[in-house]
Amino acid sequence: MPQNIEIKATAEDPAALQRRVEAIADQGPTKLQQIDTFFGCSTGRLKLREFGESPAELIYYRRSNIAGPKESSYFVAPVPDPGVLKTTSRCG
C-alpha cells in the first residue's frame, strides 16, 4: 500500500507567503479545483475526488487522528463515471 506523510499548516499572512513562493517558483501558479465526496467506511476513510474535466479517483486511506505530521497509507482507483458511483452509494 503506498504511503505519504501529511503535514497541514496555518499561514499567518497568506499574502506574504504567496509573495515568497512566487519569488522562488520556476513556474505557476497552477490552479487545482477538486471536489471531494466522503463515504461512510468502517475502517479507514473513503472519498471520491473529482477534478472537473480530468478522470475522478476513488481514494481509500488510513490515517491517524493526531496533531502534527501523520503517515497515511492509501489506494487510488480511477473512476470513469463519478455520477454513477455517487448515485450507487445512496442505496440502502
Q: How far apart are CA 35 and CA 82, in angstroms?
A: 11
The mean-pLDDT minimum among 12-21, 46-55, 70-79 falls in 46-55
pLDDT score recorded for residue 32: 82
End-to-end alpha-carbon separation of the chain, Å?
30
pLDDT in tens, 2-17: 999 999 889 999 999 9
pLDDT in tens, 35-51: 999 998 889 999 999 98
pLDDT score recorded for residue 92: 55
pTM for the structure as a whole: 0.75
Region 72-86: what's the mean pLDDT? Answer: 91
pLDDT score recorded for residue 83: 86
Q: How far apart are CA 2 and CA 71, in angstroms?
A: 10
Please report, for the chain, the start and end positions of each structural domain, with discontinuous segments joined by +. 33-92
Region 55-80: what's the mean pLDDT? Answer: 93
